[in-house]
Structure 1
C-alpha cells in the first residue's frame, strides 16, 4: 500500500525585500514518517516551517495538508486541522503552571473534535493534559510555574503542549536545544513513540539525533532544497558534506 502524502508544497517561496529566504521549494512528507530538515544557519529552515504553520504568509506557491489547500489559512485554522508547531524559542505561558499550559492545549484539541460551543468534559481535559505531561517526563512538575522551569524543561513542556493538541503533523524546531545528554536520549525515545500516531517534521542541528531518528532527511541551503534522502544517503553525499556536514 502506497504511503499517503500528508503535506505537500509546490513552488513555495518567501521573500523579505531582496532576501529570498525560501525559494521555489517543492516538498512532501508522508504520513507516519519522521522527516528531518537540516541545513546551515540562515538556510531558511525556520522560515520554511513558519510558512507551513501559517505564522508568516507565503510570497508565492501553495501548501496542501491532507489533500486540502491551506495556503491562505491562518495559523489557528491549521492547528484545528492538525498541525502543531513547537517554536525554536519557547512559547509557553510562563505565569501559568505546567499543568495549566498543557490543559490549555488539551482544551483546544477537545474543542476541535467536539465543537467550540460544546461543553468541555473536565475529566477528559485533565486526562489529556496529564497524559501529555507524562509522555515528556514532566508529570512530577505539573504544579510548578512554567517560567521557573529550566530552559530544557520549558522545551519539553512545549512538546507536551504540542502532543496535547493531538496533531496529525507535529513540527519540532530545535527540540533538543538546552537538553542534557540523558534528556536527549529520552527525547529520542519519545519521538519514536510519537511517530506511531503522528507524522513528525524535525528541524535539528544535533546530527547524531537526526541520524538516529529520521526516516528521510531534507537538506535546505540558501532557501532551496539541496537534496533529500535516507540518513545513509545524506551522510555519503559530498555536496551535503561541503555545504553542511563538513562545516562548509
Structure 2
C-alpha cells in the first residue's frame, strides 16, 4: 500500500494544554480510517492541523511525500485534502446544485461535475430545491457532495452521522463504501455501529495522544480502549 498521509510528532497546545501531543500517524491510500475517542481527546484539533485550519506548533505533516506543514489551507485543498468543516456552510438560498457547483468552482474544478456528484450521493432528484428547505439529513449529504465536488484524494468527515435517522445512517454507510473506491476517507465518528461497519482500521485518541490502533476486531477487544472509551 502507498502512504498518503503521515504526521510526525505533531503537536498543538491551547492555554498550556496539549490538545495534540506528539502524534505519529500514517494513513494509506484507499483506506477508510476511523478516528475515535472521548470528547476532548484531540480528534478535531488533529484533523484541523492536517487540513490547515489550525497552525502546527511543532512536528510535521507529509501528504503524498510532500511536506505541507506550513501550507495554507486553500493550497491543501488544491492538493486534494477536503475537510467537511471547511465546506459545510451551505448557502440556504441557493439550490442544491448551485451549492455543489460553488464548492467545485472555488478551487477551479468544473461545475459540470455537480450533477454527477449529486447522483452519487442520491440527491439528483432535488438538485433544484433550495438547500435551506431540506431536512437535516439531506443537508448533511449536500455537505458531503460539496466535498466530493473538489475531487479530493483525502476526504475528512467530522461527525457526519450526527443527527441522522437510522435509515439515513444506513444510506450514509452505503455512500461512503462507494466513495471509498476512489477516495481515501478519514472519519471522526461517535456512532460505533458506523465505525465498526466502515473502518478498515481504527485510531483511538485519548488526551491528545494515540492510545491504540488496529482493525475493528482488535480495537473491540483492546482492554485499554474498553477502559478509556468503550465503557467496559
Q: Shift of the alpha carbon at 1:88?
A: 9.3
**In the aligned structure 1, how far is the partner of 2:119 from the partner of 2:163?**
20
Is the partner of 2:111 in helix, strand or coil?
Answer: helix
**In the aligned structure 2, how far is the partner of 1:164 from the partner of 1:108?**
10
Query: In the alignment, is residue 175 of structure 1 matched against residue 160 of structure 2?
Result: yes
**In the aligned structure 2, how far is the partner of 1:39 from the partner of 1:96?**
36
Tell me if structure 1 keeps the 8 A contact 2:87–2:146: no
Q: Shift of the alpha carbon at 1:9?
A: 0.2
Q: Shift of the alpha carbon at 1:107?
A: 2.3
Query: In the alignment, is residue 72 of structure 1 matched against residue 70 of structure 2?
Result: yes
Which segments of 5 or more consecutive residues in structure 2 lack a partner in the other structure?
none
Which of 6, 11, 14 is equivalent to 1:13? Answer: 11
**In the aligned structure 1, how far is the partner of 2:3 from the partner of 2:49?**
18
CA offsets per residue over residues 153-189 of structure 1, 9 Å max, x none?
Answer: 1111100011111100000111111211111111111
Which of 78, 81, 84 is equivalent to 2:79? Answer: 81
**In the aligned structure 1, how far is the partner of 2:88 from the partner of 2:178?**
22
**In the aligned structure 1, how far is the partner of 2:224 from the partner of 2:205?**
12
Q: Shift of the alpha carbon at 1:151?
A: 1.8
Which segments of 5 or more consecutive residues in structure 1 lack a partner in the other structure?
113-123
Q: Which residue matches 2:42?
A: 44
**In the aligned structure 1, how far is the partner of 2:183 from the partner of 2:81?**
10
Which of 111, 125, 129 is equivalent to 1:125? Answer: 111
Q: Which residue matches 1:62?
A: 60
Which of 129, 136, 144 is equivalent to 1:159? Answer: 144
Tell me if structure 2 keeps the 8 A contact 1:88–1:174: no
Tell me if structure 1 keeps the 8 A contact 2:87–2:147: no
Q: Shift of the alpha carbon at 1:208?
A: 0.7
**In the aligned structure 1, how far is the partner of 2:31 from the partner of 2:73?**
23
**In the aligned structure 1, how far is the partner of 2:142 from the partner of 2:2?**
30
Q: Shift of the alpha carbon at 1:89?
A: 9.7
CA offsets per residue over residues 198-221 of structure 1, 9 Å max, x none?
Answer: 100011000011000000000001
Which of 162, 175, 197 is equivalent to 2:182? Answer: 197
* Superposition TM-score, scaled by structure 1 size: 0.90
Which of 16, 20, 27 is equivalent to 1:22? Answer: 20
Q: Which residue matches 1:119?
A: none
Q: Shift of the alpha carbon at 1:137?
A: 1.5
Which of 205, 227, 232 is equivalent to 1:220? Answer: 205
**In the aligned structure 1, how far is the partner of 2:57 from the partner of 2:133?**
39
Aligned residues: 232
